[in-house]
Amino acid sequence: MSRWRPALRIARRDALRHRGRSILVLVMIALPVLAVSAADVVYLTSDVNSVESLDRRLGAADALVTAQPGAGKVLQDFDPNSGSTSGAGGSDQEATSLAQVRATLGREVPATEWVETQLSVDTDRGVIDIGANELDVSSPLADGLFKLTSGRWPADDAEVTINAALAVKGFALGDDITIHDGKTLTVVGIAESTTSRNWPRAVARPGALGADTQGTHQWLIGGGAVSWSQVQALNAVGALVLSRAVIENPPPDSERPAEIRSWSSGVDESVIAVVVLIVVMALLEVVLLAGPAFAVGTRRQARTLALMAASGGTPRQARRVILAGGLVLGGTAAVLGVVLGIAVGWALLPVVQHFSDSWLGPFEVGPLHLLAVAAFGLLSAFLAAVVPAWLASRQDVVAVLAGRRGDRKPGLRSPMLGLVLVGLGVAASAAGAGQLGGGSTLIAASAIVSVLGMILLVPVVVTTLARLSRRLPLVARYAVRDAARHRTRTVPAVAAVAATVAGVVALGIGNASDAAESEATYQPQLAMGMASVTSYAEEGDDPIDWSAYADAIHRQDPGARVSEVVSYDAPSAGSFVDVELRRPDRPEREMFMQSYSGTFGNLLVGPDMLGLASPVRDGDLDAARRTIQQGGIVVFTDARVDGDRVVVGGTRYSDDGSDDDALEPLQLPAYFLQVRGYGPAMAVVADGVLDPLGLTSSTTGLLLDAHGLSKADEDRIQEELRGLDSNAYLFVERGYQADDATLILLGILFGLGAVLMLGGTLTATFLALSDAKPDLATLSAVGAAPRTRRGVAAAYALVVGAVGALLGAAVGFIPGIAVTYPLTSTTYYASGLDAAGDPLPSHFVDIPWLMIVGLVVVLPLVTSLIVGLTARSRLPLVARLD
């Protein structure tokens, strides 16, 4: 340590002397440390583990016992939510009773039943589902399960307390709330569950809501700790147990049932690979971003180090001086980043809570996590100083003391190693692309190797550009040659931009290709812009009044075009019909589609029903309508089918199996209509055509033209329909809808890439301008216009940004395209066809050109413009020897 003490003292004094550069390095290192520390605090606070959730799940009770009918003997993890299984107890086996629970525990314990289920309540528009809780909240055991915010708890069976999520549906204190097909209660309080926030809930006294638990019982148990052996004894009689004592002081892992342990898989290797990839790339990015600052700092100390060497100092001592700067700045940045990260994480908790459906846990800081994050910051600063330190120890002392500036001529070893690494990256990507399982891990590793190889090639690229810059304007020529002359500050900046772009391009290609696969393999259930309304009648219910459904739709959308869907083979009382189709020359039933929805039945009636399908060829629809108008049948297919006639047959089955009749085959003129996605039925026929078979037609749903119907309108109509029938369901075919997460991810990728590119380019540019003050002052002295410095600054920013972006995009294509093979392989699709019936490709590749052009072309130009507008145009004359 004594050998490092002088170096650390020099580094501390140098950091205080050059505050601007020191602050820049501190920001570069501290920002990622701050971000990760804040994210860790938010994650740990929002991740409510079993111990932290006990009061929310148990209140003040010692255990929660759940008994289901037919459970038999059950097995469970220490926390039953983590895993449980039940034996075959038989459907007629009753659930464990409270008396059995007390007998198994061997003592008389206080208990209160807690019913948790789902009910429907009537609203002004229709019906919504809510979480229903029947519980004696006055029991000490229930203390902590719900928090009263206004009003009071129910005093009798005619009162109910609701939460804010249910209150916004149109209920206030003193209002009546009606259980759908049930009783009416008066709202007397507003209370929140201590577990979830946004799900509408109601709390009433036991039995007040009339909740049907299907024989399941749940009790809060007090009277002392419930041990693991008692939990197992209760498992033996068919009850699951959440025990406070077991969760707070879990037994050895060997006590867990073997079946439960076998379900607990280790950490997924692909997850480990992704984490390693993120850590390595983040470390590399921070090192590269901070590298130019250390390179400039080393250049500023070059004369001091040369004098030290001339006085007998060793190269090792010179390296220690530069590395000590990394330790001083890195340690300071790590501490600042962690402290500020904790504060930022705490400040973000209300924002996170606003968007979370469940309540966050207690404020939590992970010391070991933050220690690792701080070590990351310190290591990144140390590594950023390694290359400048190594170069400083090998500098030409005479040249430095004479005032000659510039780096050594690049050798061939690094570029050759870079080519080898890029080649290995390409080979690994190709190997990973050929593996359907586990290929992503190999591709992730190849991305790191490719980026490392690219970094080693940057000096050659910059030097080559300098040699080709002879015909460029002065400012561009100066910028390119200055970048090549001072590679120690140029290469890290270019590499940082390139690494950023490579990662963004690779992830962008993978994400866009995955979305392209989802779009190509999407199977529409109806024609685009159409909607269906369906329901089913329970046994003993009256027939569905579809006109009332249509009226409900018109109340929310007066201009809606609604028509009834009529089916020929809807099940009738006591029987159902299995319809078969085949061509006359085929002896057996034919399946003309891999699958169809059958929502309305197998055989639809009338030409209007063709609107339910989405034909592959638009012209086919007119021919299909003519066939129906002429008394024929239109058969839906997912591939081309030859033929112009179809035999309709089948069997009528009685519900009790006592009277099964084969239908007399009927041959009809046919048109085979190839459709996209799922067919709405087997076929469409004209009204009355199948009467000779003894089939009767009936309305089985509604068809709605939903062009222009917004999602809000859809929700209102659905709520209105649920008011008529809790089984009513509205489906709107909107085609493939890109997942919001996909769009958000692409936006985040572009935003992250833009920030890192701007940060890296601006940092390197202004450091370069600071380092080049003597040269720029000389230009002014020999007559260069003031705008020349602005031009040089803009040109330097363009060189760093454009070269880095182009290299990064080229490297990013390697893992980006490779990952599309395992990610979007179509070998999992049995039919091998898309929605139009065309063969699927082996995989999908979709290049997000707009994002790539923005990163490679637009951002470097914007950065160059920003630098050109903000750079100083005049400098005081200084000597070339600084």
DSSP assignment of 238-300 equals TEEEEEHHHHHS---GGGS-HHHHHH-----HHHHHHHHHHHHHHHHHHHHHHHHHHHHHHHH
Q: Which pLDDT score, from 0 to 100, does residue 323 have?
A: 85
Strand, coil or helix: 5: helix
Q: Which pLDDT score, from 0 to 100, does residue 606 have?
A: 83
Q: Which pLDDT score, from 0 to 100, does residue 724 have?
A: 78
Cα distance between residue 662 and residue 649, in whole Å: 8
Q: At what angle do helices 367-393 and 19-46 cross, to 10 degrees?
A: 150
* Both tokens assigned to 691: 């009467």
Q: Residues of the chain whose pLDDT is less than 70?
A: 1-2, 71, 87-93, 262-278, 296, 396, 398-411, 436-440, 536-542, 569-576, 594-599, 654-660, 677, 739-746, 748-749, 752, 825-842, 873-882
Q: Which pLDDT score, from 0 to 100, does residue 756 have?
A: 73
Phi, psi of 398 (to 5 degrees): -65, -45
Residue 419 host element (H or E): helix 413-433
* Contact in structure between 616 and 689 (CB atoms under 8 Å): no
Q: Which pLDDT score, from 0 to 100, does residue 598 have?
A: 63
* Both tokens assigned to 5: 């003490």
* Contact in structure between 762 and 797 (CB atoms under 8 Å): yes
Q: Which pLDDT score, from 0 to 100, does residue 881 have?
A: 47
Nearest-CA neighbor of 690 among 577, 609, 522?
A: 577
Q: Which pLDDT score, from 0 to 100, does residue 882 have?
A: 45
Q: Which pLDDT score, from 0 to 100, does residue 62 have?
A: 92
Q: In 772-857, which ranges are continuous DSSP H helix?
A: 773-781, 787-823, 849-853
* Contact in structure between 735 and 528 (CB atoms under 8 Å): yes
Q: Where are the domains of the chain?
A: 54-263, 458-522+739-882, 530-732
* Both tokens assigned to 320: 């220690």
Task: Tell me the pTM.
Answer: 0.68
Q: Which residues pair with 577 in a beta bridge?
A: 652
* Contact in structure between 84 and 73 (CB atoms under 8 Å): no
Q: Which residues pair with 119 in a beta bridge?
A: 130
Cα distance between residue 335 and residue 341, in whole Å: 10
* Contact in structure between 277 and 442 (CB atoms under 8 Å): no
360-394 residues labelled b (16+ CB within 10 A) or e (exposed): bbeebbeeebbeebbebbbbbbbbbbbbbbbbbbe
Cα distance between residue 695 and residue 685, in whole Å: 12
Q: Which pLDDT score, from 0 to 100, does residue 830 have?
A: 45
Q: Which residues contact 61 (CB under 8 A, 6 or more apart)?
A: 141, 142, 220, 221, 222, 244
* Contact in structure between 35 and 341 (CB atoms under 8 Å): yes
Q: Which residues pair with 114 in a beta bridge?
A: 135
For 441-481, write each residue's pLDDT tens digit: 788 788 888 888 888 888 888 888 888 888 888 888 988 88
Strand, coil or helix: 877: coil
* Both tokens assigned to 368: 């070991």
> How far is C-alpha 536 from the geometric centre of its chain's CA atoms?
36
For 254-296, write each residue's pLDDT tens digit: 888 877 776 655 555 555 666 666 677 777 777 777 777 777 6
Cα distance between residue 171 and residue 73, in whole Å: 44
Kindly provide the residue ranges of all beta strands, DSSP E only, lying in 518-626, ordered along the sequence.
530-534, 562-567, 575-582, 603-605
Phi, psi of 609 (to 5 degrees): -70, -15
Cα distance between residue 754 and residue 863, in whole Å: 10
Q: Which residues contact 812 (CB under 8 A, 6 or more apart)?
A: 501, 502, 503, 504, 505, 506, 509
Nearest-CA neighbor of 535 among 702, 768, 748, 374?
A: 702
Q: On the CB side of 435, how many CA atoms lie within 13 Å of its CA?
A: 13
Strand, coil or helix: 648: strand
The two beta strands, 633-637 and 661-674, are parallel
Length of the chain: 882
Q: What's 679's DSSP letter?
A: B
